[in-house]
Structure 1
Amino acid sequence: MSNSKEVQAAYIKPSREEIARSVATSTAVETGQSSRQIEASLEAKRKKFSYLRLAV
């Protein structure tokens, strides 16, 4: 007999801001640029092309 219990972790979907911040910091580490500058650039492009959607 096994006394181990299966634990199910709840999945919390990351927000758009959290995704943008993680992409910006990762890119900043790789390129040596400021993460705030990259994050601002991503936000500007998102607003500029907000009418486009990904094909599913």
Structure 2
Amino acid sequence: MPKRSAPPSKPFTPSPQSVRRAVASSTALETGQTVQQLEQKLRNRSQSRFARIRLAD
């Protein structure tokens, strides 16, 4: 008899902070800058330049 699988659950949605952290750490590896510097730049940029634009869901 086949096993019943659980019903599909809602997909995980990362927080904006974790997305920022992932982008900063990836960029840090490529550029040699610190993650903290890049996170600060991303935080400042999102507050001013493109604050009205949201990422797609």
Q: Which runs of 5 or more residues in structure 1 are unaligned?
A: none
Equivalences, count: 53
Residues 7-45 of structure 1, C-alpha deviations (whole Å, 9 max, x = no match)? 545522100000000000000001110000000000000
- Give TM-score, length-normalised by structure 2: 0.73
Question: Which residue matches 1:6?
Answer: 5
- Give TM-score, length-normalised by structure 1: 0.74
Q: Which runs of 5 or more residues in structure 2 are unaligned?
A: none
Counterpart amino acid of residue 11 in structure 1? P
User: Larger Cα Rg: Structure 1 or Structure 2?
Assistant: 1
**1:53 CA drift (Å):** 1.7
% same residue: 30
Q: Aligned partners of 1:26, 1:5: CA distance in 2, in Å?
A: 39
Question: Which residue matches 2:35?
Answer: 35
